[in-house]
Structure 1
Amino acid sequence: MTQPEAFFEPGFAEGGGQLHTREGEVWDLPVQTWDADAGPGDERLLARCAGSTLDVGCGPGRMAAALGARGVRALGVDVSPSAIAMARSRGAIALNRDVFSLGRSAQRWRHVLLVDGNVGIGGDPVRLLWLCRELLSPGGTVLVDVAPPGHGLQVTTAQLVGSRGPGAWFAWAVLGLDALEVVAAAAGLDVAEAWLVEDEQRWQAELVPATRWPAPGGEVRS
């Protein structure tokens, strides 16, 4: 499956769009909101970024740009060249890269951001969160947006449908707050805190590395 590289192509961002799953679900996507500057719903996440921050799936770069304006070193990564161009145009430092290509040899970060449902990138939140934990420096945190309670973990394939019609199918997942603790634990993370941004009905959480966690082969690491 491909990733949604054309997510922010001109025309899609102008007209908004929808995410269609193989199961027939349709999700409206607030693309124009994502293309705007960071808003009140982003503030609690931004306020917790006290050091170098990696913004995974940065899109047009509102979070990375907001952090840079606050004097926080931040890097956005996204597979869409158009998204990266938009991010750079607003002053964000951004890299056209698949996050899974970073690997353990990549630079370590004080915080990793997964906003706007980006915990679903690749269709495997455990794998993605495991990678995010590996990218953390000691004492670091992963900051995430999740779906409301009741969504559980939905693994699917999806396509973006915008003003230019449907795009290619790609692997995706939706992670609800009710499944976050179990998924995070499988990735060696604990849920330090979760909260609701009431004005936007947006659930967010801060994850920290667990003291001990199961490795992929079953051994326990500490």
Structure 2
Amino acid sequence: MSGAREATARIGRPADPATPPRRPRTRLPGPRPADTAATAAAPGTGITGTSGVGPRITVPRPDTPAPGPGAAPDPGSWSNDPYSRALRTGRGPLFLQRADGWLLPLDVERWCAEADAVDLAVLRRCEGAVLDVGCGPGRLVAALGALGRPVLGIDVSAAAVARTNRLGGQALRRSVFESLPGEGRWGTALLIDGNVGIGGDPQALLDRTAQLLDTNGLLIAETVPGPDVDERVRVRVTDARGAVGSPFPWARVGTPALLRLAERAGWRAVDQWAAGGRCFVALRRCDARSTNSSAEPPNNAALTSSQRAG
């Protein structure tokens, strides 16, 4: 209990933000050129098209199950647990708890607030249409929409998807390992707020993300600050009242560990930086075309923010 009190003290409790008006929905990435002659929806993709009309991706209803089998976690474990209740109220305290009792505070209030300066700096690096993997309550989806960027959020939590939709964003209740709209056509994928730990296997997550992005797609991942963290654990979500959710696999990965995993999985680092006590890495596939974008230094070398400043 003393550990819970100590962790609780690290989480602020700002007032809930006002819900902004619903924004117009944006066009998501279109299919590959080979799909342009299609006249019916391709199974499992949601892609539709008619002769003479540019095809588009039709986003299903937020609670529509993914077609076909998938490696999704049990949705029930994310429906009535402390995480869902916290998202409905926009307030913590909330923690990830390991079997040994160790608690990791979850920054629910920040997640439920508007995107801050650190978030916006990340979002300005995005290219093309953006897939926010594990979008949570939707602050990044809403912010990208306000910037005019086509974006879709996915999350296995019904409460997260509902809150994202209330902000005017598009979100689906899906696991990243299930069939998704626009596979192979997304310009940027986001793994922010620790979501590089989804599924407890960062290597598998990197492989899956490569399938979702286009040839020159960009992956921006947030990593654990500090020492070289690289752990695989089973955790539960718990709150200060002692309520606990179902156990699930998770991973915590620092920048050095993620770069090692990425190299083995065929990715190359194009940038890494730190801001506001948070750490980030931008990656592209090794076979991606050379590009001179806002996410990549001119010489294609991976630089830290301190190196760029020098």
Once the two structures are superposed, residues 114-162 of structure 1 have per-residue CA deviations (whole angstroms, 9 ceiling, x without a partner) of 0000000000001001111111112111001000141421000000002
1:106 Cα deviation (Å)?
A: 2.7
Query: In 1, distance between residues paired with 2:116 and 2:86?
Result: 23
Partner of 1:217: none
Using the TM superposition, name which of 84-93 and 147-156 deviates more: 147-156
TM-score (norm 2): 0.64
Counterpart code for 1:191: A
Tell me if 1:74 matches 2:162: no
TM-score (norm 1): 0.87
Query: In 1, distance between residues paired with 2:83 and 2:161?
Result: 9
Q: Matched residue pairs, number?
A: 210
Partner of 2:172: 95
Is 1:2–1:171's contact at 8 Å kept on the other side of the alignment? no
Q: Which runs of 5+ in 2 are unaligned?
A: 1-72, 289-310
- Map 1:115-194 onto structure 2 (within 5 A): 115-162=192-239, 163=241, 165-194=243-272
Tell me the percent identity: 35
Structure with more contact order per residue of length (Cα contacts < 8 Å, sep ≥ 6): 1
Which structure's CA Rg is the greater one? 2
1:23 Cα deviation (Å)?
A: 3.9
Tell me if 1:196 matches 2:269: no
Once the two structures are superposed, residues 162-187 of structure 1 have per-residue CA deviations (whole angstroms, 9 ceiling, x without a partner) of 25711110000001112111111222
1:2 Cα deviation (Å)?
A: 4.8
Partner of 1:62: 139
Partner of 1:40: 117
Partner of 2:13: none
Is 1:106–1:135's contact at 8 Å kept on the other side of the alignment? yes
- Of 126, 132, 143, which residue of structure 2 is paired with 1:49? 126
RMSD: 2.1
Partner of 2:84: 9
Q: Rate the CA distance shift 1:177–1:107 in 2: closer, same or farther, 3 A.
A: closer
Query: In 2, distance between residues paired with 1:104 and 1:11?
Result: 28
- SS of aligned partner of 1:20: strand
Query: In 2, distance between residues paired with 1:23 and 1:38?
Result: 33
Q: Which has the higher strand share?
A: 1
Query: In 2, distance between residues paired with 1:151 and 1:40?
Result: 26
Query: In 2, distance between residues paired with 1:170 and 1:201?
Result: 27
Query: In 2, distance between residues paired with 1:105 and 1:94?
Result: 14
Query: In 2, distance between residues paired with 1:31 and 1:138?
Result: 34
1:25 Cα deviation (Å)?
A: 2.4
Counterpart code for 1:184: A
Partner of 2:33: none
